[in-house]
Amino acid sequence: MSSTTDKIKGLANEAVGNVKQGVGNVTGNDKLVAEGKAQELKGEAQKIVGDAKDGAQNLADKVKSKF
C-alpha cells in the first residue's frame, strides 16, 4: 500500500470507529463502544504507517540526490 492509501484508510477507520463509539454510548452497547475504540486505534496505526512510509521515501530521495 502507498503512504496515501494507508493514511486514507486510517482516517476512514478512525471515523467509523468514532461513529461506533457514539452509537454505542447512546444505546448503552458497551461491545459497540469497544469495537469502535479498537477500530479507531487501528486507524491511528494505519496513519502512522503512512507517515513512516513518507519519511522513509523522503530519506531515500535525499540519499539519492547526494549521489
State the pLDDT at residue 61: 82
Strand, helix or coil for residue 29 = coil
For the chain, the structural domain boundaries read: 3-66
Which cell goes with 35? 469495537
% the chain with pLDDT above 70: 100
Give the pLDDT band of residue 59 (cuts 50, 70, 90).
confident
Return d(Cα 14, Cα 46) in angstroms, integer: 10
Strands (E) located in 1-67: none
Distance CA 43, CA 36 (A): 10
